[in-house]
Structure 1
Amino acid sequence: MRARRTTAALAALAAAALGAAGCGVTGAEDDSILGKDTLTIGVSPDQPGLGQLTGSTREGFDIDVAREVAKRLGVDASSLRFKNVTSASREEMLERGEVDLVVATYSITPERKTRVAFAGPYYVAHQDILVRGETTDIRNVRNLAGKRLCEVPGSVSFPRVTKEKGIAAVSAQASGYSDCLAKLQAGQLDAVSTDDLILAGLAAQALKSGGRPLKIVNSPFTDEPYGIGVRKDDTDGCEAVNKAITTMYQDGTAPKLLNKWFRLSRLDVVTTVPQFEGCD
């Protein structure tokens, strides 16, 4: 009798183990963005022209790209949720599952690819410099030596100047790029250096608000491929986002959005689909 009970107990444990394994597989599948009825997308709340939250309204190029990608993944607009991210929080929020995707001027870098996957890029921007209109002694990145340069935690822009280019700029800390804009206009720093699309949005915001006129130096010194962040193991989801980006360029949607948001900045935007970097 005891032997039969032992055999039955072992069988029950084996069945439970198989059931747990089965649940684990289902959970892994559920981690993919594919087939989801709802999506939560991380976006910036403070980047004029790209991702800006005013009251309950979100607008900008990245917001429109996020909506288009979600639509092409089969997610209805009413089932799309946005969540604020910062330059410093994007990887953590993807890893914790707080967001399904990140569309937030998220430059693809080797360091970031160790933690998350990237679809795209959906656009390749270039790092440039924004200064006050009366500034004449900052014409390129070398002129930032000794200047007060805005630094946003988690952004790669400041290290690109100081570490990659070896320019001894002085850090002027800010909470985000809208804070950089306010401090630049107030004379609390000398320059903001980041992606030209961000700078174009900041300059346009300054013009709309009637603040001190700003200008882009137009001396780009890096390529900044904007990717859509996806959880590291969701290769199928990443490839589906790549397909969505491709069709956005093929049917003219992406060029229309670039024209909508950056025409007035006089930036020479590129309207052909960028070379994808792969979902590894």
Structure 2
Amino acid sequence: MQFVLARRGFAAALGLSLALAPLAASAEDLTGTLKKVKDSGAITIGYRDSSVPFSYLGGDEKPVGYALDICYKIADAVKAKLGLPKLDVKLNPVTSATRIPLMANGTIDLECGSTTNNADRQKQVGFTNSHFLTATRFVSKKSANLHTIEDLKGKTVVSTSGTTNIRQINEANTEKKLGLTILPAKDHAEAFLMVETGRAVAFVMDDVLLASLVASSKDPGAYEISKDSLSKPEPYGIMLRKDDAPFKQVADEATAKLYTSPEGKALYDKWFTQPIPPRNINLNLPMSDEMKKQFTKPIDSPDPAAY
């Protein structure tokens, strides 16, 4: 009888150890960012201080924004994946110059802003599913009744000197024989002022930047941004470390779940079609058809043609 009980006790202990073995192995097998977060109990998010509405300082000088909200969702998913009762989310400021080095050296784990996901950057870092698609469009006064590229024929337009946008409008001018007079401006503010004062009928630039300029103008209702674009969509993505497949999988699953849910559309509208802090400006930038497609079937491709 004692022998039978002993055997049963051994079998129960063996069964328990076998049941716990996968969990122990799982913890031991963690690598990269997931191991770093598990060991430290913290995840560090890199934010921008003036990338409206993606990541910027709000009225209380605390970081807010569309991309930041997405990063918090990823952090929640990481916490759940690791089974952590608590996860310390740290915020670290980055600039266009420091964001990639700080990612590479382990200072930040996610970069939440308006960073373009392109082939060159993918040689250094990774990206999760694209959270925004920008494109080159033009802004004009509603009273000018300009809606398409063809409507600009024979007119004077402006773009900022040294940008890809001014190159694109020059190429379109040649290809479509538009007969445009194209003026270079020293910066975006000067270019918009030229439309405001009538020196040019349209300003050609990234649509989200145009939306910000319009929203901050004296009379936002007087302007419209074209639906016609002069470029393929340019994807912005949440940046993470390169060749860290387990962490990227968590980020991809979290962003795909968010974007394909009603919460994803609500989050977009919160930052792009409603008043935002601290000055309650409204970018009035509804989802483009490409963005609707991206939120239906999220991808992380750096190729504009994929969108």
Q: TM > 0.5 between the two?
A: yes
Give the partner amino acid of 1:162: R
> What is the match of residue 59 of structure 1?
64
Task: List per-residue Cα deviations over 1:173-213 (Å, max 9, x = no partner).
Answer: 55xxxxx3x4445449962511x34433443333xx66795
CA distance in 1, matches of 2:115, 2:129: 11
Please list every run of at least 4 consecutive aligned residues from structure 1 whose deviation after the TM superposition is greater than 6 angstroms: 134-138
- Matched residue of 1:79: which SS? strand
> What is the match of residue 101 of structure 2?
92
CA distance in 1, matches of 2:63, 2:161: 25
Query: Identity, % of aligned pairs?
Result: 17
CA distance in 2, matches of 1:166, 1:33: 48
Task: List per-residue Cα deviations over 1:74-123 (Å, max 9, x = no partner).
Answer: 2868523141323x543333234343222222222111111211111234
Residue 272 in structure 1 maps to residue 281 in structure 2: no
Residue 259 in structure 1 maps to residue 259 in structure 2: no
CA distance in 1, matches of 2:95, 2:64: 15
Give the partner amino acid of 2:203: A
1:231 to 217, 241, 247: 241
> What is the match of residue 166 of structure 1?
171
Alpha-carbon RMSD across the aligned residues, in angstroms, is 4.1
Runs of 5+ unmatched residues, structure 2: 1-28, 174-181, 275-283, 303-307
Task: List per-residue Cα deviations over 1:104-155 (Å, max 9, x = no partner).
Answer: 2222211111121111123434332334666677953996998542368xxx
CA contact (8 A) 1:70 1:80 kept: no
- Matched residue of 2:239: which SS? strand
Aligned length: 239
Q: Which has the higher strand share?
A: 1
Matched ranges for 1:4-153 at <5 A: 29=32, 35=38, 37-54=41-58, 55-74=60-79, 79-86=89-96, 88-131=97-140, 139-140=148-149, 147-150=157-160
> What is the match of residue 204 of structure 1?
215
CA distance in 1, matches of 2:115, 2:35: 20
- Matched residue of 1:242: which SS? helix
Residue 216 in structure 1 maps to residue 220 in structure 2: no
> What is the match of residue 11 of structure 2?
none
CA distance in 2, matches of 1:56, 1:248: 27
Q: State the Cα distance separating 1:66 from its structure 2 match.
A: 1.9
Runs of 5+ unmatched residues, structure 1: 1-25, 153-157, 175-179
* Comparing 231-240 and 130-139, the one that deviates more: 130-139
- Matched residue of 2:266: which SS? helix
> What is the match of residue 203 of structure 2?
191
CA distance in 2, matches of 1:84, 1:123: 19
Task: List per-residue Cα deviations over 1:12-57 (Å, max 9, x = no partner).
Answer: xxxxxxxxxxxxxx9x746866535323323332233322313513
CA distance in 2, matches of 1:251, 1:274: 11
CA distance in 2, matches of 1:96, 1:172: 38
